[in-house]
């Protein structure tokens, strides 16, 4: 009997002494898969730039042990100032491929991937015993979850709900639930400012806008960028013609004749190319000098980001309708956001007075 009591006592002590990180919990990723992860996660590899950006905002940068190889291209060269340690991190893969040996050497507890990461890539990682969490920042209907350009019944709900779910999921994985809720609350509260001021602009009075990217690519319908334009009071000239992110011709842009052209901050060379190309000079946006390089926080990507909703749409609306936002100091707005979520002041790296 004493032997049994002693054995039971030792077993109880052993169980109580197990680190909490050994315990399991289950999360549901944005492909709808249930993933078992450790109770405490502080070693993650991130093979999607949107998730990497969100982890920095959730103050979880120190939990990142590996990142995608194209992070500078995807986030912009200036992003490194917000998380200098990223510059020294290993890069065991990218959006659609992974080096398993390099990944295993980092001993991650979780690998974040994009929803459109190849199924074989996800399987390859999972076979090593490492959980894989897919992020889309969209709420997709069944059968559309893994697509880059899904079919959506309601784009607004799909992106709004998907962004909230994605932020909560990332926060849950790295034990930053409170920070995730704070980010969501701030983002959607701030967004209301723009919609209230533009409520009286009739659809036919909206300014025609083209989003220029390298190699004549642009965003049509089915992407957050189109919603961003709509929230800012713009008419996306490509929305009625193309779906998703596609290449168009200069002839098509000339036919659309946008009044304003926006270019993401990560592609400053595109602004130079457009301004210097004589073939573009017939477009209203060029005639009226309304080609704008967007600030870093605008993030007019195909997927939503909280700063784009909170202050990026405001910047865009102020550029389109300056008289309606004359009292708004974008430097002040950007500083407030950056100090709260990036823990630093906003520094404008663009050359077009982006924060004014």
Please give the CATH number for the structural domain made up of 201-341.
3.40.50.1980
pLDDT given for residue 232 in this prediction: 96
Average of per-residue pLDDT across 155-176: 97
Residue with the larger pLDDT of the pair 192 and 260: 260
Residue with the larger pLDDT of the pair 356 and 285: 285
The CATH 3.40.50.1980 domain(s) of the chain lie at 16-175, 201-341
* pLDDT per residue as tens digits for the range 207-223: 999 999 999 999 998 88
Residue with the larger pLDDT of the pair 103 and 3: 103
Average of per-residue pLDDT across 51-73: 97
pLDDT given for residue 238 in this prediction: 96
pLDDT given for residue 137 in this prediction: 96
Average of per-residue pLDDT across 339-355: 74
pLDDT given for residue 1 in this prediction: 47
* pLDDT per residue as tens digits for the range 224-247: 898 999 999 999 999 999 988 999
* pLDDT per residue as tens digits for the range 272-289: 999 999 999 999 999 999
pLDDT given for residue 127 in this prediction: 98
Residue 136's CB is within 10 A of a number of other CB atoms, namely 28
DSSP classification of residue 33: -
Task: Calculate the average pLDDT of the chain.
Answer: 91
CA dihedral of residues 240, 242, 244, 248 (deg, nearest 10): -130
For domain 16-175, give its CATH number from 1.10.3720.10, 3.10.450.50, 3.40.50.1980, 3.30.465.10.
Answer: 3.40.50.1980
Q: Contact, 321 vs 234, CB < 8 A? A: no
pLDDT given for residue 19 in this prediction: 43
- Whether residue 162 has pLDDT greater than 70: yes
pLDDT given for residue 350 in this prediction: 52
User: How many degrees, rounded to 5, is the angle at CA 311 between CA 201 and CA 350?
Assistant: 110
Average of per-residue pLDDT across 90-100: 98
Average of per-residue pLDDT across 248-257: 97
Percent of the chain at pLDDT exceeding 90: 82
* pLDDT per residue as tens digits for the range 2-35: 444 443 333 343 333 334 445 699 999 999 999 9
Three-class SS of residue 145? coil
Average of per-residue pLDDT across 136-146: 94
pLDDT given for residue 339 in this prediction: 97
Cα(132)–Cα(149) distance, integer angstroms: 22
- Highest mean pLDDT range out of 92-101, 148-157, 299-308? 92-101
- Provide long-range contacts, Cβ within 8 A and 24+ apart, for 153-162: 155/221, 155/222, 155/226, 155/227, 156/227, 159/224, 159/227, 159/304, 160/188, 160/304, 162/30, 162/136, 162/137, 162/138, 162/304
Q: Is the dihedral of CA 45, 47, 49, 54 positive or negative?
A: negative
pLDDT band at 349 (very low <50, low <70, confident <90, very high): low
- Whether residue 351 has pLDDT greater than 90: no
Q: Contact, 111 vs 130, CB < 8 A? A: yes
Three-class SS of residue 103? helix
Average of per-residue pLDDT across 293-312: 93
pLDDT given for residue 309 in this prediction: 96
């Amino acid at each position: 009997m004493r032997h049994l009591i002693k054995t039971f006592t030792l077993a109880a002590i052993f169980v109580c002494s197990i680190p909490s990180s050994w315990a399991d919990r289950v999360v549901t990723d944005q492909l709808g898969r249930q993933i078992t992860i450790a109770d405490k996660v502080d070693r993650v590899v991130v093979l999607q730039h949107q998730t990497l950006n969100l982890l920095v905002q959730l103050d979880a940068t120190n939990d990142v042990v590996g990142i995608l190889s194209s992070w500078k291209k995807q986030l912009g060269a200036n992003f490194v100032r917000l998380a200098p340690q990223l510059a020294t991190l290993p890069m065991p893969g990218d959006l659609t491929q992974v080096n398993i040996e390099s990944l295993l050497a980092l001993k991650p507890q979780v690998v974040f991937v994009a929803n459109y990461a190849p199924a074989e890539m996800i399987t390859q990682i999972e076979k090593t015993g490492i959980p894989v969490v897919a992020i889309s920042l969209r709420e997709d209907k069944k059968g559309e979850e893994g697509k880059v350009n899904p079919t959506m019944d309601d784009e607004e709900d799909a992106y709004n709900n998907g962004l909230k779910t994605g932020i909560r999921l990332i926060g849950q994985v790295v034990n930053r639930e409170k920070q995730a809720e704070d980010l969501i609350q701030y983002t959607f509260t701030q967004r209301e400012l723009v919609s209230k001021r533009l409520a009286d602009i009739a659809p036919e009075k909206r300014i025609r806008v083209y989003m220029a990217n390298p190699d004549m690519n642009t965003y049509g319908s089915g992407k957050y960028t189109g919603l961003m334009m709509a929230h800012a009071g713009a008419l996306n000239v490509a929305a009625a013609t193309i779906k998703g992110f596609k290449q168009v011709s200069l002839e098509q842009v000339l036919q659309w004749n946008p009044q304003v052209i926006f270019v993401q901050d990560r592609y400053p060379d595109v602004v130079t190319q457009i301004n210097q190309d004589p073939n573009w000079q017939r477009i209203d946006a060029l005639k009226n000098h309304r080609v704008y390089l967007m600030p870093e926080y605008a993030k007019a990507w195909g997927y939503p980001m909280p700063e784009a909703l909170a202050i990026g749409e405001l910047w865009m609306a102020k550029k389109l309708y300056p008289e309606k936002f004359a009292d708004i100091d974008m430097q002040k707005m950007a500083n407030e956001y950056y100090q709260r979520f990036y823990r630093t002041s906003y520094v404008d790296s663009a050359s077009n007075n982006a924060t004014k």
